[in-house]
Copies of this chain bind each other. A is one copy, B any other.
C-alpha cells in the first residue's frame, strides 16, 4: 500500500465529514456497550461548557465530563437489555449522537438509539433465522396525494407464490413516521423470531403514516402547513376519521391488489400506539365488517366518545364479542395515559365487551411497544 493510497483514504474521509460536522479532532466511538451492559457515550465538543446525556433508561439527564482532547463522556450503570432512545444536551441544545447511525424517525424530535443485547437474544434482536423483507411502497392516497407505506413480508413470501397471508395494519404515534415501527419497534425482527420459533403465523404487516393532514399540506402546497395546528392540532377525531378513510379506502385496496393477502375480516388485524392506537380503535369500531383483531397499545377512547360515536360496541356486547376475535388493551403503569386506559378497560368490562389486557412497568415508550407487539402477534389469526 503506497502513501498515495493512504492520503486518498484520508481525503475521502474528510470529504465525508466535511459537511455538518467539520473534522475537529479525533473520531469518537459512541455508544460503546460494555461487557457488563454499562454503556459509554462520547461526544466531541472541545468548546462546550456543559454536556449531558438524556436517555430513556435514566429518569434525569446524566452529567458528562470532558477529557484533554475535548471528548465528553459518561459510562452508565449496567442497563437492562433493550433498545433505548437517547440524545445529548450540549449547552442546552438537543442533538443526536453524530457517531451513531441508528436514529429515531420522527417529525419533531431527533434521538439516537442504543441497543443493549441480552445474555440470551431478545425477541427484537437480529438472529440467525430466516428473515422477511421490509418494503417501502407508494400508494395513491387522498386528494390526489401519494402516500408512503412500509410493508413487512414474512420469510419465504417470495418463494411461495401460491400462498396468501393475513395482514396486520400497524399505526405509529404522534410525530412518528411510517418508519418508526421498523426502525425503533424492530417489528420485522420480532416477527422473524416469532415465526422461526413457531409462535406466530406468517403474516404481512403494513405500517402507514398517521399524519394525513401534514401529507396533504406538503404535497398540495409545496410547503408544510404554516398553522401548526394543521399538523399537530386538536382535532384528533377528525384526523382519526380522515386516517381511517384513507386506510379502508386506499391503503387496504392497494395492499390487497399488490400483495398476496387473504382479503376478509378474519385475516385482517389492526393495531397502533398512542395516537395510532386511537386511530386503531376508531377505525376498527367504525368498520367491524373489516377487522376481527384489534390491538390498542397505550391508548384508549373515552366513555363519552364510546357512547357518542360507537354505542353499538357496548350496546350489543354479544354481537361485538362475535365480531371481534381479539380486543387487546395494554398500557404501562407509569404511562401518562394509564388512567384513561384503565377507565376504558372499566367501560368495556361494565358493558360486558370481551377484551384482553396487559399492564406493564414503564411509561409511554417504544420499549413497551416492542413488548406489546411481541405479546400480541402470537395471538393473531388463530
Contact = CB atoms under 8 A, between A and B. Distances in A.
A232 B47 contact: no
A364 B11 CA distance: 11
B12 A274 contact: yes
A137 B146 contact: no
A99 B95 contact: no
A83 to B, nearest CB: 14
A105 B104 CA distance: 11
Contacts of A131: 137-138
Contact of A16 (B85, B174, B228): B174
Contacts of A135: 133-136
Contacts of A340: 8
Copies in the complex: 2
Interface residues of A, number: 103
Contact of A93 (B90, B107, B126, B364): B90
B158 A258 contact: yes
B336 A11 contact: yes
A138 B161 contact: no
Interface in A141-192: 146, 158, 161, 173-177, 182, 188
Nearest to A175: B16
A117 interface: yes
A8 B302 contact: yes
Given A110-B95, A133-B135, A5 B105 contact: no
B117 A20 contact: no
A109 B173 CA distance: 27
A188 B225 CA distance: 27
Contacts of A16: 106, 108-109, 173-176, 274-275
Interface stretch (A24-32, A310-318, A368-376): A24-32
A112 to B, nearest CB: 9
Interface in A121-139: 126, 128, 131, 133-138
Interface stretch (A200-208, A234-242, A348-356): A234-242
A70 interface: no
Contacts of A95: 93-96, 110
A267 B372 CA distance: 45
A19 B94 CA distance: 10
Interface in A84-107: 85, 87, 90-96, 98-101, 103-107
A17 B45 CA distance: 25
Given A21-B108, A136-B182, 14 more contacts: A6-B236, A9-B275, A12-B174, A12-B236, A15-B337, A16-B108, A17-B108, A17-B175, A19-B109, A34-B223, A48-B93, A96-B110, A103-B103, A131-B138
